[in-house]
Structure 1
Amino acid sequence: MRIARFRHAGEIKTGQIHHHGVRVFAGSPEIGSIIAGGIAEAHRREVAQTVPLEEVQLLAPLQPSSIRDFVAFEEHVEGVRRSVDGSAGVPDAWYDAPTFYFTNPHAIYGPGDDVPFPAASVARDFELEVAAIAGPDRSIFGYTIFNDWSARDLQSREMQVRLGPAKGKDFASSLGPWIVTADELEPYRDADGFLDLWCTAAVNGVEVGRDLLSNMGWTFEAMIAYAGRDSRVEPGDVLGSGTVGNGGCLAELWGRNGTQDPPPLTDGDVVTLTVEGIGSLTNRITSGAENTGIPRVRRRDPAQARAERQS
């Protein structure tokens, strides 16, 4: 079952993609309530009408309250690490647990949207991922394509502070084109529990990356269990797979090639991510507004300041 969020006749609605049409759910339910009800309940949803797919504008399939982005592909870690900070190999800690970071859930873009990069960034990159959508009781409701856009020049500078990416990431993420419920992808599951799906990335119609989702180091089930350890995972939370290897992003290729080849993304470039069994997600690159400078940091002797305050 493919569940979409879309605009039709001036209203935002939800429904099921069916052949070349959309079965609009009766009562205009929010996507969050559909996810919270689980897959079986989604299949029982009443349909009010069916409209042609070309008459709707697909939107990001959900506006999540949180996004955890994992880094589950060893090949990606090795290549990007060399590109971002010049280090070789994979950190030993990567093998201990499925590491993730939180990114911004308030900067979500959908199919066909223009994605505004920080104007000052000149090392613009895409990241080809699959995202699992959490369902009730830490189950997996479904999957969608996730593009974790990256300003590599900003990321390289700020990660020197050892807190992970911030402004190099939080300007945009893309999700879409819809949510494929987990039951529909079960035929792709291999003997070890991984989804054996081809994932490809193309820039301006030229393929630059191709990998199997089953090259992940952990299953989505393992990642959602780890995310919920000593914490909470709620229905509708997004858990990204991390970027696939073999050209799942430009920075991996830069790290392996020793040069920015292929070149960074620029205004007008069109990126299309395609995942077997799910679909395709396309966005065009633009530049955001110019920003003013950052105030100069205040430097002072803390011990002297305390002594002066006490005197």
Structure 2
Amino acid sequence: MKLVTFETNNDTSALFGVVIANNFVVAFSTIISKTGKDITILDDANQYVTHLPESEVYAKELYEYASEHIDSFTDREMPELKDVRLRPPISKVPALLDLGLSPRHLQNAAKNLLQREVKWPLNKLINFVLHRRLQREYITPNFRYYKGNHNAIIGDGDTIHWPSYTSYLDIEPELAIVVGAGSSIAGYVIFNDCSARDVQLPDFLGLTGPGKCKDFTASNGIGPFLVTPDEVGNPLNLKVEVRIGDRFKWKGSTSEYTAKPEDVLQAIHSIFRPLPGTIIGMGTIPDCCSIETEEWLLPSERIEISIEKLGSLVQFTPNTLESKEICRWAKRADLNLYVSPIGGVRVDHEIAPFKGNATM
């Protein structure tokens, strides 16, 4: 099942439901009213993940009923997916963790960061040592993680914040696990872990972790669906494609992860028991971000991250930037046209209500 949290033209409150026949969406509350069942654990996604596996049994029964009786629902009761506005599939995320289980991305990103931050030949030496270390992780995965800002989550159709202190905003497409009751896997979402690359090294060298470079406002995108494990099949065999407007197209695969989601949960469970609804990113898909491709984002950009079986997460960069602070890296002349002349006020990308950007 592809589970969704959405709102419609007729109801702007959050509705929890399911995608039917790839093109339609219906709230579980609507199906329940049709069937006359008394089910109280499908009011929202947080209740769903908290009451697994019982909630999944009920959800599947309702999904099958709606699929078999699709003609009995009105357009208002079962609108087309393109006509609703999708919210983040988990409305209240108790924690956000992110791992680095894609060594090739770490190697590529480190190489390009070091070229800007450290002079030759020291950058070559550091890169060599790091490469040797990361090669070992193909055999023995390292389950180190950092805690992301779970209060900075945005969803499909939303605009990423572009902080004034960065000129090199980047995206990081990831496969993310959604934790269910008893540390089970409730499902998967696309995770866009945005990064301010030109302040990333000082964050880590300062021993404070990823603060300015990761935890800024509206920096963690998830969506468009919460996809149940049975729908996904093998999560480490999914094609990934990223489109940056009409300018760039990047391709990758989840097959480069060095550990299975079950191994991730086991490793984290040895430290603490994550609450249901916790999101765990597995690491950036190699070849699918600017720090690797050296193809950098601009304002007014449409970003589409597609992962096979998980759909497509569409997000935007703002039309106008705040007054830029002095960049630690080479100045980007291509950003000058986008700096607001009126007090440095940022103007978000204008998005029509109920845009329905998600695609299957």
Please classify the TM superposition score into its range, dividing by the shorter chain length: 0.7 to 0.9
Task: State yes or no: 1:43 paired with 2:57.
Answer: no
How far off its partner does 1:290 sit? 5.9
Deviations 1:238-275 (A, max 9, x none): 01011011x1211123xxxxxxx31x212112211100
Q: Distance in 2 between matches of 1:96 and 1:61?
A: 29
**What secondary structure does 2:205 align onto?**
helix
- Taking structure 1 as reference, are residues 292 and 272 closer, same or farther at Cα in structure 2, changes over 3 Å only? closer
**Partner amino acid, structure 1, of 2:153:** I
Deviations 1:180-204 (A, max 9, x none): 1011112xx2xxxx52000111111
**Could you say which residue in structure 2 is the equivalent of 1:305?**
none
Q: Distance in 2 between matches of 1:137 and 1:289?
A: 44
Q: Distance in 2 between matches of 1:200 and 1:177?
A: 15
How far off its partner does 1:29 sit? 0.5
Residue pair 1:270, 1:284 contacting (<8 A) in 2 also: yes
**Could you say which residue in structure 1 is the equivalent of 2:13?**
11
Moved more, 280-289 or 165-174: 280-289
Task: State yes or no: 1:79 paired with 2:105.
Answer: no
Residue pair 1:200, 1:207 contacting (<8 A) in 2 also: no
How far off its partner does 1:75 sit? 0.5
**Could you say which residue in structure 1 is the equivalent of 2:24?**
21
Q: Distance in 2 between matches of 1:106 and 1:289?
A: 22
Q: Distance in 1 between matches of 2:156 and 2:141?
A: 35
**Could you say which residue in structure 2 is the equivalent of 1:56?**
84
Matches within 5 A, 1:227-246: 227-245=268-286
**What secondary structure does 1:153 align onto?**
helix
Task: State yes or no: 1:173 paired with 2:220.
Answer: yes
- Taking structure 1 as reference, are residues 40 and 170 closer, same or farther at Cα in structure 2, changes over 3 Å only? same
**Could you say which residue in structure 2 is the equivalent of 1:257?**
none
Residue pair 1:145, 1:278 contacting (<8 A) in 2 also: yes
The structure 1 residue matched to 2:244, chosen from 184, 192, 203, is 203
**Could you say which residue in structure 2 is the equivalent of 1:270?**
302
**Could you say which residue in structure 2 is the equivalent of 1:250?**
290
How far off its partner does 1:115 sit? 1.0
Cα RMSD between the aligned structures? 2.3
Task: State yes or no: 1:285 paired with 2:317.
Answer: yes
Q: Distance in 2 between matches of 1:3 and 1:96?
A: 31
**Partner amino acid, structure 2, of 1:249:** C
**Could you say which residue in structure 2 is the equivalent of 1:307?**
none
Task: State yes or no: 1:34 paired with 2:34.
Answer: no
TM-score normalized with structure 2 length: 0.72
- Taking structure 1 as reference, are residues 225 and 205 closer, same or farther at Cα in structure 2, changes over 3 Å only? farther
**Could you say which residue in structure 2 is the equivalent of 1:300?**
none
Task: State yes or no: 1:224 paired with 2:262.
Answer: no
Identity of aligned residues (%): 24
Q: Distance in 2 between matches of 1:122 and 1:213?
A: 29
**What secondary structure does 1:51 align onto?**
coil
- Taking structure 1 as reference, are residues 50 and 96 closer, same or farther at Cα in structure 2, changes over 3 Å only? closer
**Could you say which residue in structure 1 is the equivalent of 2:192?**
147
How far off its partner does 1:42 sit? 3.0
Deviations 1:112-167 (A, max 9, x none): 11111102210110101011101121111101100000000121222221332111
Q: Which structure dedicates a bigger proportion of its chain to strand?
A: 1
Q: Distance in 2 between matches of 1:182 and 1:288?
A: 40
Query: Tell me, which stretches of 5 or more residues in structure 2 are unaligned?
Result: 30-39, 67-72, 115-122, 327-360
Residue pair 2:177, 2:188 contacting (<8 A) in 1 also: yes
**Could you say which residue in structure 1 is the equivalent of 2:147?**
102
**Could you say which residue in structure 1 is the equivalent of 2:342?**
none
How far off its partner does 1:65 sit? 1.0
User: Aligned residue pairs: how many?
Assistant: 278
How far off its partner does 1:101 sit? 0.7
How far off its partner does 1:288 sit? 6.6
The structure 1 residue matched to 2:181, chosen from 136, 155, 171, is 136
Moved more, 47-56 or 200-209: 47-56
**What secondary structure does 2:297 align onto?**
coil
Deviations 1:44-81 (A, max 9, x none): 45879423223311111113111111101111010111
How far off its partner does 1:289 sit? 5.4
Moved more, 82-91 or 34-43: 82-91
Q: Distance in 2 between matches of 1:175 and 1:219?
A: 20
Q: Distance in 2 between matches of 1:218 and 1:163?
A: 27
Residue pair 1:110, 1:176 contacting (<8 A) in 2 also: yes
TM-score normalized with structure 1 length: 0.82
Q: Distance in 2 between matches of 1:196 and 1:207?
A: 23
Q: Distance in 1 between matches of 2:181 and 2:259?
A: 21
**Partner amino acid, structure 2, of 1:14:** F
